[in-house]
Amino acid sequence: MAVPAAPKPETLAAFEAAKGFMPVREGLALHAAATEAGRLGLPLLEVGTYCGRSTILLADAARAAGTVAVTVDHHRGSEEQQPGWEYHDPAVVDPEVGLMDTLPTFRRTLHKAGLEEYVIAVVGRSPQVARVWAGEVGLVFIDGGHTDEHATADYEGWAPRVAEGGLLVVHDVFPDPADGGQAPYRVYLRALASGAFTEVSVTDSLRVLRRTGPGF
């Protein structure tokens, strides 16, 4: 994979300032993958938006390529972000309904980064959205719920939509259970075993795979 241009300093600054969990090294690898995939002229799709930290990088790549980033999330938070869990943030709880609502923070994130016009935000559950999605995408970034149920549904719903030559990116892949949950790792292994994808790069917990065959 050719080395693409890094994000502009202001884009990287917006990424670092945004609420979220993705480290800079992995973010730069995601941006590189999105920049390459953007050359296909197809949408770049993200499953799992949270507050838009990684969306900034996808939107920046989409802007440069003349395409769009599509981000899919119900915005009620994944399992580990619920009250009582490690990654819960009470600042993104809607006080009126008592549930998490990351959508307002996400919209502010994109506005501050000047990237709103390059993003289509789909508010809904990944499997439901995948069932009505008709076209191909240049990139799928799987970073949603980390249970086997949700990670598997994200893979089965979206991996077949990656165009030939496009990229599948999986976050939080930890071969050692001591480092983190295993559902994304199992999805990554399944993608390799499918015959549809070939590994392109590894950056910490981020895996980039290219669609090279039918496999589905």
Q: What is the pLDDT of residues 1-53, one digit of tens each?
A: 455 578 989 999 999 999 988 999 999 999 999 999 999 999 999 999 999 99
Burial of 86 (0-12, 13-18, 19+ CB in 10 A): exposed
Angle between helices 183-193 and 148-158 (to 10 degrees): 30
Hey, what's the torsion of the CAs at 65, 135, 109, 5, to 10 degrees? -20
- For 129-170, the pLDDT digits (tens) are 999 999 999 999 999 888 999 999 999 999 999 999 999 999
Looking at the domain assignment, is residue 105 inside a domain?
yes
List the domain range (segments joined by +) for residue 71: 9-211
Looking at the domain assignment, is residue 192 inside a domain?
yes
Looking at the domain assignment, is residue 86 inside a domain?
yes
Query: Can you give the pLDDT at residue 95?
Result: 82
Question: What's the pTM?
Answer: 0.92
Looking at the domain assignment, is residue 4 inside a domain?
no
Given a cut of 90, whether residue 62 has pLDDT beyond it is yes
Looking at the domain assignment, is residue 206 inside a domain?
yes
Catalytic residues: 146
Spatial CB neighbours of 41, under 8 Å, sequence gap ≥ 6: 65, 66, 67, 138
Number of domains in the chain: 1
Cβ(57)–Cβ(26) below 8 Å: no
Please report how many Cα atoms fall inside a 13 Å half-sphere around the Cα of residue 108, on the Cβ side.
Answer: 10
CATH number at residue 166: 3.40.50.150
Nearest residue to 57 via CA among 110, 123, 122, 130: 110
Distance CA 95, CA 20 (A): 21
Looking at the domain assignment, is residue 84 inside a domain?
yes
Cβ(55)–Cβ(73) below 8 Å: no
Cβ(34)–Cβ(42) below 8 Å: no
Q: Are strands 119-123 and 137-142 parallel, antiparallel or unpaired?
A: unpaired
Neighbours of 42 (CB within 10 A): 21
- What does the pLDDT average to over 182-197? 97
